[in-house]
Amino acid sequence: MSAEGRVDVLGVPIDRVDFDAVQARVEAWLTTGAGPRQIATVNPEFVMLARRDPAFADVLRTTALNVADGVGIVWAARRFGRPVRERVGGADLMLRLCARAAVTGWGVYLLGAQDDIAARAGRALQARFPGLRIVGAQAGSPAEADAPALLEEIRRCRPELLFVAYGAPKQDVWLSRHLAGCQGGSAIVGMGVGASFDYLTGAQRRAPAWVQRLGLEWLFRLLQQPWRLRRQLALPRYAALVMLESLRGRVRQQR
C-alpha cells in the first residue's frame, strides 16, 4: 500500500498518487533492490472486467501499485470522498519513467504489439531521450507455451523496466505470472502499457492534449476504433454502480 493510501473502486484498490509519487516509488524499488514490482494502469474497463473475472481481480489486488488511468476512476474516487491526486495515464507514465531511465542508466525492455512496433518504439524513445538504454524489444507472445524462452531472453538482457503491450487484461495477467521470472538483476518493475508503442510509432493516433484535458480520450479512441463500442457499453453500468455505492456510503455515514 502506498503512503498516500488507497481508495476502493468497486472492489479494485487504487493508489492515491500522482506522477511524481509513482516515479519516486519506482526509483526507491530499483535503488534498494526490492525485487519484482508490478504497476497496473486501471481504467473503468479494468474494473468492470475484474467484476466478471475473479482471476483478473486477484491480479489487481496483488499488484504493487494501481494508478488511476482514466477519468472514470478519478471521478469515482472523488465520489467516494477519497480523491486521487491526478490522473496517471499509462502512456505518459511510461515516458516519464523512460526520461528518468535515460539519466539513471536503467535498462528498458519493450515487449508486445505487432511485428516490429516494439523495436520502432524503442528507437523513438531513444531519439526523445538521448542516453536511454533499450536492452531489448520484441513482439513476443502472451501464450504460456512461449513463456520459458521469452523469460530466458529477458533475464539475459537484465532490464530494470519492462513495458508490456499485449493489451488488457493479457498484459497484466502475464506480468503477474511471469515478472519474477524476468528478473535478471536485483530488481525489476513491470507495467502494461496498452497502445503506447503504437502511439510512439504513429501506428495509432493518440488524442490531442486538449481532448485529454476534457477527459474525452476514450471517445477519440472509439471514433478511431469502432470495434471498441462493445467494451464501452460497460461504462454506463460502471457509472451507475459508482453512484449507487457512493449513496450507500453516505447512508452508512449518517447512521
Give 106-150 pLDDT, tens digit per residue. Answer: 999 999 999 999 999 999 999 999 999 999 999 999 999 999 999
Cα distance between residue 24 and residue 32, in whole Å: 12
In a domain, 25, yes or no: yes
Indicate the pLDDT class of residue 248, thresholds 50, 70 and 90: confident
Rounded to two decimals, what is the model's pTM?
0.91
pLDDT bin (cut points 50, 70, 90) of residue 221 is low
Give the pLDDT confidence score for residue 211 in this predicted structure.
Answer: 63
- Please calculate the CA angle 50-204-49 and round it to the nearest 5 degrees: 5
Torsion over CA: 87, 200, 118, 94 (sign): negative
pLDDT of residue 189: 98
The residue count of the chain comes to 255
Q: Is residue 171 part of a domain?
A: yes
Whole-number Å distance between alpha carbons of 184 and 253: 49
Residues 197, 165 contacting (CB under 8 angstroms)? yes
Residue 161, in any domain of the structure? yes
> What pLDDT, on a 0 to 100 scale, did the predictor assign at position 160?
98
Residue 254 lies in a domain: no
Q: Which residues form the domain of 221? A: 6-244
Q: Is residue 252 part of a domain?
A: no
Q: Total structural domains in the chain?
A: 1
60 domain-assigned? yes
- Residue 253 domain-assigned? no
In a domain? residue 1 = no
Rounded Cα–Cα distance for residues 154 and 134 (Å): 12
Nearest to 189 by CA among 125, 93, 103, 124: 93
- Examine the pLDDT at 218 and tell me if it is beyond 70: no
